[in-house]
Amino acid sequence: MRNILLFLLAILLSNCTQQPPALDFEKEKAAIQAVIAKETESYYKQDFENWKSTYLESPAFRKYCYWEGFPEKVTFYNGFESLKAEKKKQFESDATIWKGSTEERANENFRISHDMAWYTFEQYSYEKDTRKLLGKSLETRILEKENGQWKIAYLGYHYFPDTLVQK
């Protein structure tokens, strides 16, 4: 009996000390960038299903944003359901602001673990045809893995006031 208990204890201890598989940082970084690009592209194309597929559809989801263009300046969503309902209505009414614009990201910073990551960057948005700068923002995304796929769990942005944007 004692030998069986020692054997079981050895198995339990070996399971506790096993390290997770090594993280392929560049692979995960590329996957995160692809999710962010897909979210942005599907937003401007008003492709609701592809846009929605990039998010963690959970009460834990958060979106906190500042933009001068909002009547209230600050918007927030606690939980994905209210954001999903608003965006579905927005896409159906063809009311997407800056439709067709292009974005560039700079000063990217990634912190990635096996199931969670955060990504910060500066984003420059340009009018598609003229390349006129529409806005500059500081952006944050926190992502979680769901069924092996990165999903946006937190979306935050802070647009610089138009008077501070270097053109």
Strand segments (E) across the chain = 62-66, 74-78, 102-112, 116-126, 133-146, 149-159
Q: Which residues contact 99 (CB under 8 A, 6 or more apart)?
A: 44, 46
pLDDT score recorded for residue 102 = 87
For residues 167 and 162, give the distance between their C-alpha atoms in angstroms, rounded to a whole number.
Answer: 10
pLDDT at 45 over 90: no
For residues 43 and 136, give the distance between their C-alpha atoms in angstroms, rounded to a whole number.
Answer: 18
Question: Would you call 58 helix, strand, or coil by DSSP?
Answer: coil
Higher pLDDT, 45 or 97: 45
pTM recorded for the entire structure: 0.83
pLDDT at 69 over 90: no
- At 82, is the pLDDT very low, low, confident or very high (cuts 50, 70, 90)? very high
Region 122-147: mean pLDDT is: 94
Are the C-beta atoms of 152 and 39 separated by less than 8 Å? yes
